[in-house]
Amino acid sequence: MERKDHIDLLGGTALLLLSLMLGLNQVMIKVVNDGMQPVFSAGMRSVLAFVLVLAYALWRKKRLTIRDGSLVAGIVTGILFALEFISLFLALDYTTVTRVSIFFYSMPIWMTLGAHFLIAGERITTRKAIGLALAMAGVVWAFSDRGTGGGSLLGDVMCTIAAMCWAGIGLIARVTKMNRSTPEMQLLYQLSVSALILMPLAFLLQGQIGPVIRDLQMWHLAVFAVMVVGVVAIGFLVWFWILSIYPSSEMASYAFLSPVFGVIFGWLLLDEVISFTIIGALVLVSAGIVLINRRPKARAG
């Protein structure tokens, strides 16, 4: 499919469903953390998703090669992928889904800042600057909330690091020879490298963050299976497909839905408290992201 300069109906629908899935993902991670050590579950997720994505790519006869100049960029994105999910999974041991939904999905902020310097045609305009200011104000406001809602500064920082890594992966996929790779190959780079990092690290860190198996029950495994198949094997393939077709800044404009869904799911499914600060920060971040990526109206004539 040829590259497009705006989000069409197909892209918008895909982004909406992906945002819903990603909003639910944080709930699933927090649930699985009760049964498995976070780094171990992140590593196992990469291992199993690698098998699924590889099987799909071979079945569909997708082009899988490291001889197109993408190897170094692929390894770097794999390292960022590992750091992203070490940070995210551990963060959910320390903080709530509602707070994670603010910090982790601040990704479009960092994506837009990076795109300004690295991608021609995606500069920060006055409108985008105002949007960035609003979104950053929301993040800072959420950081300042040290109330009794179950959050911690460590968890907040980890989520923000994860968001920056996510943005870095997206930018590398655009500005390096990795853009020659198929979405499947890009994901296989990340899954394979992250698995090689996360699995041994999970065992090395048992003295610091506990054994790899906690109070594991069958329903933890069921949620984990949905997370592997739905979010990683399917969700990330959709993410890279969208990134390869549509402008990254416009794509990011839909990401405001993910924190909204995340906060709602944290409240509905985990009975988390939604404070005034969280609501205010969510509004600022969401409004800022929309403003950052709003397309100017074409002038008549």
Does 253 have pLDDT greater than 70? no
Q: Name the band, by pLDDT with cuts 50, 70 and 90, for residue 239.
A: confident
Provide mean pLDDT across the span 43-48: 96
The predicted pLDDT at position 51 comes to: 95
Does 245 have pLDDT greater than 90? no
Work out the number of other CB atoms within 10 angstroms of the CB of residue 269: 14
The predicted pLDDT at position 278 comes to: 87
Provide mean pLDDT across the span 27-36: 96
* Predicted structure pTM score: 0.87
The predicted pLDDT at position 301 comes to: 43
Residue whose C-alpha is closest to residue 94's, from 35, 148, 153: 153
Q: How far apart are CA 115 and CA 128, in angstroms?
A: 12
56, 233 Cβ separation under 8 angstroms:
yes
Torsion-angle region of 151 (φ positive above 0: left; ψ -120 to 50: alpha; else: beta): beta
The predicted pLDDT at position 35 comes to: 96
Crossing angle (nearest 10°) for helices 38-59 and 218-226: 50
Provide mean pLDDT across the span 212-217: 95
The predicted pLDDT at position 255 comes to: 63
The predicted pLDDT at position 300 comes to: 44
Provide mean pLDDT across the span 273-285: 89
Give the tens place of pLDDT for each residue, 122-164. Answer: 788 888 899 899 999 999 888 887 665 666 889 999 999 999 9
The predicted pLDDT at position 89 comes to: 96
The per-residue pLDDT of the chain, averaged, comes to 88
Residue whose C-alpha is closest to residue 254's, from 19, 10, 4, 6: 19
Does 31 have pLDDT greater than 90? yes
Beta bridge partners of 36: 213
Give the tens place of pLDDT for each residue, 46-78. Answer: 999 999 999 999 998 999 999 999 999 999 999
Q: Name the band, by pLDDT with cuts 50, 70 and 90, for residue 291.
A: confident
Q: Name the band, by pLDDT with cuts 50, 70 and 90, for residue 231.
A: confident
